[in-house]
Chain A
């Protein structure tokens, strides 16, 4: 495995497409530690776990019982085990104000914990997130050794202005943690995956950035998660796709400079205008 110098735009990403034990922090931590070892052996620099990977997704009234503050010792254990890798994992965050968030934490070497709180909480169909979580209020770039990176959780990607803002602000890599429930129809791939693949490829195309999408697998309450995690090149071509339904470590070498190279011939972000006048909707809220 090549050994890029600090500040190099080249890195090996690993997507830990795992199953999770609902409401069982200890079992999930053990699983994370095992997959961290696997990823290290595969030469991974940046390892991404799915949404709520430390707790499972469909927690309902178990949500309060698995909430953790970002200073929890569990994260020290994870960060220590991961070194020198950077690890991104999902958890239920209890803020210092006592609010619960569906969050992702980035553990990169030192004691610093970068947190992204999910901004859009789906509460429709089988989703009930607003009953149990408060939405985040901030969108930030994460300073990783390879460059500034965008971090989104599942539904956040369905609101394309977030990915756009991150790309315009300098993200050449977008990490998406997901717990996307599966549906099938007549197609060869799960119908749920078709939407996600379209979304990831479109984002990589119009925001001219790498998209790394880690979805989980397994069953909760009769609903399965699709898997099919993706690494999509700037411009929308799929570099790697994980299998459906089964746990899998998807590994890909990526070069963030590819985003710059695509942007030189497809300057969509540089051309972005903020001065256009016209209809300014208030959304569909009455």
Chain B
């Protein structure tokens, strides 16, 4: 049963790479910028985004940034460096500890979620500043599974100028990463936001990506109801949890909620394409 759904999630990898590199090239060319900046975490998503950009633009136009905090896992930084070197990207490390610590010195009671969000937003401000400095765009690295589950920091890791991964389920991210022959240890490791020691995505979420991808596919690509998904053998509690996440975090996908007063409200009465 689940094998069947997984088959349908499978993409023609060369075709997907051709389309996504065309997307990156088009966005950079039409914006008149020099290339992209990308935050490299050593994880699969940012590694794939960087690899696609390197193919699209040539590695010299893809600027990698390693943005660790002092408690970040050394393995993450080593993997990020490995990916940058593997792709021959110009890259640079900027330690975010001083900025983060300066703030939490005056907000000492903040828990891990606030600290993690602050780190994600600190990285975002650095990436946008570097993009300004280099005349480049910020490359997004959020995948479709994360976006639908709201598993991101709003205005943090979900902020970007263009996102080649936003319509790829996690399974498809892994598939393309293998196709592009990213370093095996990066493909094999358990996904983690690395916002505190020992954190894993699947631990935070309470279910596995493989399950989430299949359930989300059945809900959104096939149009099944949550009850119909559970009837196909998925744990009803997990389906419910996924549905709840999806509903609860919709606000993260629609930025700029503007109160409409006139007949010419931006994005409502005037839906002007950005291209």
Residue of B nearest to A65 (CB): B272
Residues of B contacting A221 with CB < 8 Å?
273-275
User: Are B12 and A187 in contact (CB-based, < 8 A)?
Assistant: yes
B110 on the A face (CB < 8 A): no
Check if B273 sits within 8 Å of A220, measured CB to CB: yes
Find out whether the CB atom of A184 lies under 8 angstroms from the CB atom of B15: yes
B85 CB within 8 Å of chain A? no
Q: Are B273 and A190 in contact, CB atoms less than 8 angstroms apart?
A: no
**Total contacts A-B at CB 8 Å:** 54
Q: A58-B273, A61-B271, A62-B272 are in contact. Are A224 and B11 (CB under 8 A)?
A: no
Check if B272 sits within 8 Å of A186, measured CB to CB. Answer: no
CA distance A58 to B275 in the complex (A): 9
Q: Mark each residue of chain A from 174 to 186: 1 if its CB lies under 8 Å from any CB of chain B, else 0.
A: 0000000010111
Does B130 make an interface contact (CB < 8 A)? no
A23 to B15 alpha-carbon distance, docked (Å): 29
B4 at the interface (CB under 8 A from A): no
Chain A proximity of B271: nearest CB distance (Å): 4
Contact code string B2-19 (vs A, CB < 8 Å = 1, else 0) = 000001101110011011
Whether A62 and B22, one on each chain, are in contact in the complex, defined by CB atoms closer than 8 angstroms, is no
* A222 surroundings in chain B (CB, below 8 A): 23
A47-68 interface code vs B (CB 8 A; 1 in, 0 out): 0000000000011111000000
CA distance A23 to B16 in the complex (A): 28
- Contact (A245, B12) CB under 8 Å given A61-B272, A219-B27: no
Q: How far is the CB of B227 from chain A (nearest CB, A)?
A: 24
CA distance A205 to B15 in the complex (A): 29
**In-complex Cβ contact of A190 among B15, B27, B271, B274 (8 A):** B15
- When distances are taken between beta carbons in the complex, the residues of chain A under 8 Å from B271 are 60-61
Bound together, the chains give a CA A245 to CA B272 distance in angstroms of: 25
Q: Known: A218-B26, A219-B22, A219-B27. Contact between A184 and B16, CB under 8 A? A: yes
Q: Of all chain B residues, which has the CB nearest A184?
A: B15
Interface pairs (27), CB distance under 8 Å = A22-B273, A23-B273, A58-B275, A60-B272, A61-B271, A61-B272, A62-B272, A62-B273, A184-B11, A184-B15, A184-B16, A185-B8, A185-B11, A185-B12, A186-B8, A186-B10, A187-B12, A188-B15, A190-B15, A219-B22, A219-B26, A220-B273, A220-B275, A221-B273, A221-B274, A224-B19, A224-B22
Mark A residues whose CB is within 8 Å of B.
Answer: 22-23, 58-62, 182, 184-190, 218-222, 224, 244-245
User: Hey, which bits of chain B sit against chain A, CB under 8 A?
Assistant: 7-8, 10-12, 15-16, 18-19, 22-23, 26-27, 269-275
**4 further contact pairs, Cβ within 8 A, besides A58-B275, A220-B275:** A184-B16, A185-B8, A187-B12, A219-B275
